[in-house]
Homo-oligomer: A and B are copies of this chain.
Amino acid sequence: MNNFKLTSFLTSNVDLDEKMLNELIANFKIKHFRKGEYLLQQGEVCTNYFFIETGLARLFGINRVGKEHIIQFAPEGWFVSDRESTFFKQPSSYFIQAIEDTKAFLLDEQFILKLSESNPAFVEFNNKLLHNHIRNMTKRVYQLLSATAEERYLAFTKTYPDILLRVPQIMVASYLGITPESLSRVRKDLALKNFKK
């Protein structure tokens, strides 16, 4: 048995025998991206889901004045894609970029659909992924509506302590919806508060 993260992800989430599993893995393309390279560019139609096997990627958009806004980080073991583009066959509004050297499996949407027809476990699997996605996005909306910059930063450090150490602060700020300068000050204030305790 191979040692891919994707393998253990599938075995723990879909009911498959080993033969079927290996057949599957063999069917997926794996692709390497150097730090900075793009998995998806704005304007392209996103035809796959990416499973990050190793490395780290980000999903982000750029507004009229050239400012970047990060919607999602995707470290190893995570899926990333622009589902809107993939499902509705529309040019993507976003970019997906490798933040570190990254190895990713490309899961073709058509292929997944076919699997779903023959294997009900796959329907359930896909459902789980989609609901997980919705859960994360809903929490994110709620946070952005209700929490201050400091609260959002604290939540981030608790939820994604690993990512925090792997990306420049400028990107954490972008994810949180504040400027890097503000984030620097938030961190300073927190450090002070902790010192005083």
Residue numbers of A with Cβ under 8 A of B are 61, 63, 67, 69-71, 83-84, 87-88, 93, 116-117, 120, 123, 126-128, 130-131, 133-135, 137-138, 140-142, 144-146, 174, 177
Contact = CB atoms under 8 A, between A and B. Distances in A.
A71 B145 contact: yes
A160 to B, nearest CB: 16
Given A142-B61, A144-B144, A146-B61, A135 B71 contact: no
Nearest to A133: B134
Across the A-B interface, give the 5 residue pairs with the lowest CB-CB distance, nearest first.
A137-B137, A144-B144, A87-B131, A69-B145, A84-B135
Contact of A83 (B117, B131, B144): B131
A88 B83 CA distance: 21
A82 B117 CA distance: 27
A88 B140 contact: no
